[in-house]
Amino acid sequence: MSSLLEKVKKFEPPKEKKFLHTLYDGFFTFLFTPDHTTHGVGVHIRDRMDLKRTMVMVVLALQLCYVFGTYNIGHQHFVALGEHTSFTSAMHLKLFHGLIKMLPIFIVTHVVGLGIEFYYAARKGHAIEEGFLVTGALIPLIMPPDIPLWILSLSVAFAVILGKEAFGGTGMNVVNIALLARAFVFFAYPGEISGDRCWVSGLEFDGAVASGEVYGWAHHLSDGLFKWLGVATFGEGGGAVVDGWSGATPLALAKTGWESVTAHYSSLQMLWGGIPGSVGETCKPAILVGALILIATGIASWRIMLSMFLGAAFMGIVFNWWGHDVQMDIPWYFHFYMGSFFFAMAFMATDPVTAASTNTGKWIYGFGIGMLGIIIRVMNAAYPEGWMLAILFMNVWAPLIDHFVVQSNMKRRAKRAVAA
């Protein structure tokens, strides 16, 4: 290992060449743990789990969501065409179609985001910051599979520059950067991220009606290999969308009543994720595995996750008791089957930079997100999901929550000291 370290160090450019040295430093610290040691004074102890490796653990926890989400992109495409409707049929076509849609989103997100990070790091003369490792992994999972890449580029640039670099870089941002990118698309280009048609990829539309499939050069190129292997190819079914297909998500259907949801999707479909939706949000078991990894490694707070669950359950029960309209009649526990609750709980609300830091504050913060998310989901007819807005709202309040918790602790300790 020492010989490899010495070989890599031979390529280190002089620090005067800021851009080259910044690039080298990012590569070097990815391969090796930085050689920081604990000094003889002070209270901090350094170990091998630096920020970069902490971020990598979060990325690893997302991998099941990536695998399932990529496959589900292809599955939803063929369901719309009425072809290979069994979840396990034509797996090669579904996975390949998913990769065709997912890889450009992933690549563009990282090229734009890391390019901006690299530019600011070089200009400021410090090492490349690792914060975008997680942001870059989250953004593709919360976007529609057919989002135009130029809109994606604008959203990433907006979020990184105005959401993070303007506040000082990694660790200084007030709101979650990945959610800020999604919020940019939602408010600037709502047609690309709302409604029914955006959640299923590779379809041609005649106005608002889906009329057939759209395949590109990558699909046609792969057909040669698939024909040679003697397996199914793209476009065999004639390319017509089945009658009555809408692509509506369970949340969209819930606006007209719970019966509309159960008529289209079973509880098992909503649990395992064979439904339309954002790439990473549909498979709940995959998300929960990632959540357990984050809890076990101490990276994410179980207090925030549990309190968010309790807040959502409490508000769902209140609405069931109220029963003012059809959405309030949705059984409270089915709110966890629909939409992106678990993904928001595990990977968004627990962001250590933008969440509350004190233990008491984490309970308040998580409970507030759970309540607000259900309120927005149920009472806002124009917006079927609520976790993005709820988390961004509570991100802004998190520092104030911590302030009051700390002040309360100080007053309580002062009273104990006086009494003693």
pTM (two decimals): 0.86
Asked whether residue 1 is assigned to any structural domain, the reply reads: no
Same domain, 127 and 218: yes
Task: Pick the last residue of a domain from 185, 202, 236.
Answer: 236
* Residue-wise burial string across 225-262, b where 16 or more C-beta atoms lie within 10 A, e elsewhere: ebeeeeebbbeeeebebeeebbbbbbbbbbbeebebbe
Q: Are 116 and 186 contained in the same domain?
A: yes
Q: Is residue 370 part of a domain?
A: yes
pLDDT for 385 equals 85
Same domain, yes or no: 13 and 162: yes
Whether 133 is in a domain gets the answer yes
Clarify whether residues 130 and 184 are in a common domain.
yes
Boundaries of domain holding 182: 8-35+48-236
* Domain boundary, last residue among 208, 236, 264: 236
Q: Within this chain, do residues 212 and 284 fall inside the same structural domain, yes or no?
A: no
141 and 269 together in one domain: no
Could you give the CA distance from residue 415 to residue 200 in angstroms, rounded to a whole number? 60
Contacts of 289 (CB under 8 A, 6+ apart): 61, 64
Q: Give the pLDDT of residue 197.
A: 81
Q: How far is CA 346 from CA 100, 120, 137, 342, 410, in A?
A: 27, 29, 14, 6, 31
Q: Which of 177, 212, 236 is the last residue of a domain?
A: 236
Q: Digits of tens for pLDDT over the chain (420 positions)?
A: 456 666 666 656 666 555 555 555 655 555 555 555 555 555 444 445 556 667 788 999 999 999 999 999 999 999 999 899 999 999 999 999 999 999 999 999 999 998 998 888 877 776 666 678 899 999 999 999 999 999 999 999 999 999 998 888 877 899 999 999 999 999 999 988 887 788 999 888 766 566 677 888 899 899 999 999 999 999 887 777 887 777 888 988 888 888 888 888 999 999 999 999 999 999 999 999 999 999 999 999 999 999 999 999 999 999 999 987 788 888 999 999 888 999 999 999 999 999 999 999 999 999 999 999 999 999 887 777 889 999 999 999 999 999 999 999 999 888 888 876
Number of domains in the chain: 2
Within a domain: residue 82? Answer: yes
Question: Does 136 fall in a domain?
Answer: yes
